[in-house]
C-alpha cells in the first residue's frame, strides 16, 4: 500500500500541518478515507462545501460546461460568466470581478480601494484599516491586512499603508479613520479569529463613519457569504450594504472561484489593464457557481442554515451547562464557535476525528463548526453525543 503521508513529505513544501487521515471520496455530508472509514463533515473544507460534497447538479454543470467551452481567457466574452455576474449584481447592485480564491478577491478589492482613493481624493488617500484578529489571505497585501502579527511578521518588511484597530470597538475606528484612509476592511464575523461576530451596531457605525469621512467600507465575506450565516450575506443581519464585498470559498461549492463586487461609482475607478486574471471567471467554474445559487434559492438553504444553526448552538450551550466545559457559544447560522474552559480544543478536535467527526480548533480554546448547510439534526445530535462522551471521559 502507498504510504501517502511519506510521499507527501517528499513532494510538497511543508506548509500544512495535515491531520493523519488520507481522504479518498465524499458524498453529501460524508467523507471516506483510503481504509474505508466514514467521517461526518462538520468543516466543509473550511467552509467551502456549503451544499455537501460531490453534489450531482454542480458536478454536472461544471463537466457539461467544460465539454462545451473550457478556457478562453478574459480577452473574450463568456455568456455563463456574464450570467453569474448578473445574478450577483441582482443581490448587491454592484459590478463583479472574478478571481480564483478569497485572497485574490481581497487583493483585488484592496487595489480597487487604493485606485479609487487616489482618483477621488488625491495621491495620499491609500490607507487601509482592518481589525486585530482578522484574517484576509496569504498574499503579501492581504497578509498585511490580516490583524494577526504572528502570521505576517515572518515576511517583513510588509507593504506600507495598513493599520489596525480592535474588533467591535467603534471609538477606536473613529479615532483611526483620518483623511489618509481610503478603506475600512471588516469581516462581519471573524472566522480565523475565533468565530467572533461583529455587533450590528458596530457595523452600522462603521458604515456611518465611512460615509462621513469619505472612505470605502469593504466586507470580507469569503467565509460568511453564500448563505452560511442564515442570510446570503452576513451584512444583511445588520441591514447595511458595503461599498465592496468579497466572496470565494462556497460560491461554487468548493470549486476555485473568488469575486469582489463593487458599487458602480467605485468599480469605475478601474480601467482596462488595472487588474486581471488568466483563470478568473472561467466558464466551467461559473457554471458551477450558477448551479450553487440555484440550489440555495430553490431549497431555501439560507433559511435552513438559520434554523439548523440555532438548533446546533442550543445543543452546544446545553452541553456546556451540563459539563461545565464549554462556554460562549457564538455565531450565526451554521458558522459556530465555542470556547473551551480548558486549553483542550486541539485535543477534542483530534478525539472527535477518531470518532468519525471532522471539526477544527482555532488555537487551544476554540472549537469551530462549519458543516454543510444540508447537515441534519440527527447528524448534529450524533456529534453532540460524541463531544459529550469525550468531555466526560477527560473529566474522569
Cis peptide upstream of residue 157 (ω within 30 degrees of 0): yes
Give the DSSP letter string of 89-130.
HHHHSSEEEEESSHHHHHHHHHHHHHHHHHHHH-TT--EEEE
d(CA 220, CA 245): 6
pLDDT band, residue 394 (cuts 50/70/90): low
pLDDT at 338: 98
Q: Are strands 196-197 and 189-190 parallel, antiparallel or unpaired?
A: antiparallel
Contact 158, 127 (CB under 8 A): no
Give the DSSP letter string of 31-96.
EEETT--EEEESSHHHHT-TT-BT-HHHHHHHHHHHHH-----TTS--HHHHHHHHHHHHHHSSEE
Contact 154, 115 (CB under 8 A): no
220 is catalytic: yes
pLDDT at 396: 45
pLDDT tens-digit series, residues 270-325: 999 999 999 999 999 999 999 999 999 999 999 999 999 999 999 999 999 999 99
Chain centroid, CA 31 distance in Å: 21
Q: What's the mean pLDDT in 369-387?
A: 98
pLDDT at 93: 96
Q: What's the mean pLDDT in 261-265?
A: 98
pLDDT at 393: 84
Q: Are strands 357-358 and 38-41 parallel, antiparallel or unpaired?
A: parallel
Spans of all domains in the chain: 4-55+301-395, 56-298
**Which burial class, exposed, middle or buried, applies to 140 when counting CB atoms under 10 A from its CB (0-12, 13-18, 19+)?**
middle
327 is catalytic: no
Q: What's the mean pLDDT in 10-21?
A: 95
Q: Has residue 395 got a pLDDT over 60?
A: no
pLDDT tens-digit series, residues 185-196: 999 999 999 999
Q: What's the mean pLDDT in 353-378?
A: 98
- What does pLDDT average to over the chain? 97
Q: What's the mean pLDDT in 176-181?
A: 98
Q: Which of 41, 162, 167, 220 is catalytic?
A: 220
pLDDT tens-digit series, residues 106-116: 999 999 999 99
Chain centroid, CA 146 distance in Å: 14
Question: What percent of the chain clears pLDDT 90, i.e. is strictly above it?
Answer: 98
Phi and psi at 16, nearest 5°, equal -120, 130
Domain 4-55+301-395 is found in CATH 3.30.465.10:
no
d(CA 98, CA 108): 9
Q: Which of 97, 98, 135, 233 is catalytic?
A: 135
Q: Has residue 244 got a pLDDT over 70?
A: yes
Q: Is the pTM of this model over 0.85?
A: yes
Closest CA to 33 of 18, 49, 21, 43: 21
Tell the CATH topology of 56-298: 3.40.640
pLDDT tens-digit series, residues 20-65: 999 999 999 999 999 999 999 999 999 999 999 999 999 999 999 9
Q: What's the mean pLDDT in 191-220?
A: 98
369 is catalytic: no
Q: Which of 98, 162, 232, 249 is catalytic?
A: 249
Amino acid at each position: 500500500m502507498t504510504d501517502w503521508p511519506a510521499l507527501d513529505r517528499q513532494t510538497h513544501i511543508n506548509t500544512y500541518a495535515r491531520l493523519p487521515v488520507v481522504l479518498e471520496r465524499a458524498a453529501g455530508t460524508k467523507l471516506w478515507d483510503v481504509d474505508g472509514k466514514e467521517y461526518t463533515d462538520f468543516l466543509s473544507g473550511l467552509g467551502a462545501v456549503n451544499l455537501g460534497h460531490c453534489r450531482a447538479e454542480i458536478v454536472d454543470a461544471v463537466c457539461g460546461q467544460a465539454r462545451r467551452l473550457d478556457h478562453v481567457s478574459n480577452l473574450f466574452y463568456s455568456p455563463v460568466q456574464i450570467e453569474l455576474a448578473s445574478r450577483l449584481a441582482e443581490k448587491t447592485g454592484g459590478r463583479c470581478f472574478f478571481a480564483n480564491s478569497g485572497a485574490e478577491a481581497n487583493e483585488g478589492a484592496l487595489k480597487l480601494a487604493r485606485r479609487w482613493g487616489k482618483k477621488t481624493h488625491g495621491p495620499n488617500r491609500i490607507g487601509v484599516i482592518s481589525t486585530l484578529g482578522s484574517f484576509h489571505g496569504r498574499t503579501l497585501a492581504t497578509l498585511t491586512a490580516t490583524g494577526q502579527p504572528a502570521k505576517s511578521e515572518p515576511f517583513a518588511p510588509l507593504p506600507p499603508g495598513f493599520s489596525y484597530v480592535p474588533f467591535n470597538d467603534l471609538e477606536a475606528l473613529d479615532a483611526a479613520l483620518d483623511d489618509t484612509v481610503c478603506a475600512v476592511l471588516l469581516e462581519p464575523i471573524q472566522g480565523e479569529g475565533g468565530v467572533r461576530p461583529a455587533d450590528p451596531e458596530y457595523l452600522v457605525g462603521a458604515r456611518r463613519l465611512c460615509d462621513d469621512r469619505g472612505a470605502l467600507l469593504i466586507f470580507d465575506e469569503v467565509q460568511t457569504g453564500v448563505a452560511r450565516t442564515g442570510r446570503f450575506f452576513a451584512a444583511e443581519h445588520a441591514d447595511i450594504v458595503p461599498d465592496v464585498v468579497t466572496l470565494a470559498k462556497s460560491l461554487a461549492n468548493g470549486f476555485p472561484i473568488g469575486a469582489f463586487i463593487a458599487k458602480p461609482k467605485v468599480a469605475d475607478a478601474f480601467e482596462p489593464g488595472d487588474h486581471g486574471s488568466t483563470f478568473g471567471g472561467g466558464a466551467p467554474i461559473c457554471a458551477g457557481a450558477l448551479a450553487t445559487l440555484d440550489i440555495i434559492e430553490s431549497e431555501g438553504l439560507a433559511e435552513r442554515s438559520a434554523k439548523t444553526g440555532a438548533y446546533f448552538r442550543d445543543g452546544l450551550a446545553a452541553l456546556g451547562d451540563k459539563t461545565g466545559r464549554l462556554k460562549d457559544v457564538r455565531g450565526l447560522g451554521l458558522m459556530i464557535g465555542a470556547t473551551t474552559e480548558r486549553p483542550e480544543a486541539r485535543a477534542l478536535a483530534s478525539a472527535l476525528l477518531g470518532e468519525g467527526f471532522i471539526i477544527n480548533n482555532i488555537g487551544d480554546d476554540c472549537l469551530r463548526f462549519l458543516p454543510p448547510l444540508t447537515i441534519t439534526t440527527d447528524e448534529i445530535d450524533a456529534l453532540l453525543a460524541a463531544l459529550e462522551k469525550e468531555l466526560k471521559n477527560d473529566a474522569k
